[in-house]
Amino acid sequence: MATVTRSDIIDAAGRLFAERGYHGTSMRDLGNEVGLLGSSIYSHVNSKAEILTEVIDKGAKLFQASADAALAAPVSAPEKLELLISGHIDVVMDHANEVKTFLYESRFLAADQRAVPLEQRNTYEAAFRSVFVQGAEAGDFKRLDPVITSILTLSILNAIERWFRDDGRLDRGELTQRIVGFTKASLEKE
């Protein structure tokens, strides 16, 4: 029998939190998922909230790594926007458990534990805002409120986890191009 690691527990928690929700997952459920007694998990972690924090942090870091790569690319704002959108779609589709937990379960953190995930979300949204501002300043996009534009764009992107499937009528590349086209059309100068 293989030794269960903290990483195994975090991965299993991501799956269960995404499927059942934080409150719908007990430590016993988590133990069953990794082949331990629920109480044995406490030899690896201090609390279920600690596990939730780690799954959320993992999701946030995946999004931020994607944004950092897009922002570092030596390309125009419209091309950076395409990289941001494509990267977001890849994170949503390739890391669905962490993404669902990050998007929907962070509200269950205690008030004193919400500051870091909130800052992570704000930093990620700032990447989109900076590209919208950069594009407007370069004359590539019309000037729109970058906060609202970022929220609208991310709302569209976050919703794809609910309906898009890689084996559906569109592949990821087509989905990316349609969302990029829609977003760019809303930003085009008149």
Question: Is residue 13 situated within a structural domain?
Answer: no
Q: How many domains would you assign to the chain?
A: 1
Rounded Cα–Cα distance for residues 154 and 79 (Å): 17
Residues 6+ away with beta carbon under 8 Å from 103 = 59, 158, 161
Question: Is residue 30 situated within a structural domain?
Answer: no
Query: Each residue of 12-28: pLDDT tens digit?
Result: 999 999 999 999 999 99
Question: Is residue 7 situated within a structural domain?
Answer: no
The two tokens of residue 175 are 């989905």
Rounded Cα–Cα distance for residues 20 and 147 (Å): 32
Question: Is residue 87 situated within a structural domain?
Answer: yes
State the pTM of this model.
Answer: 0.91
Range of 144's domain? 49-187
Rounded Cα–Cα distance for residues 127 and 114 (Å): 20
Mean pLDDT (the chain, rounded): 92
Question: Is residue 80 situated within a structural domain?
Answer: yes
Question: Is residue 41 situated within a structural domain?
Answer: no
Question: Is residue 16 situated within a structural domain?
Answer: no
pLDDT score recorded for residue 121: 93
Query: Each residue of 152-167: pLDDT tens digit?
Result: 999 999 999 889 998 8
Query: Each residue of 45-104: pLDDT tens digit?
Result: 889 999 999 999 999 999 999 999 999 999 999 999 999 999 999 999 999 999 999 999
Cβ 128 vs Cβ 150: under 8 Å: yes
pLDDT score recorded for residue 119: 93
Q: Could you tell me the CATH number of the domain that includes residue 69?
A: 1.10.357.10
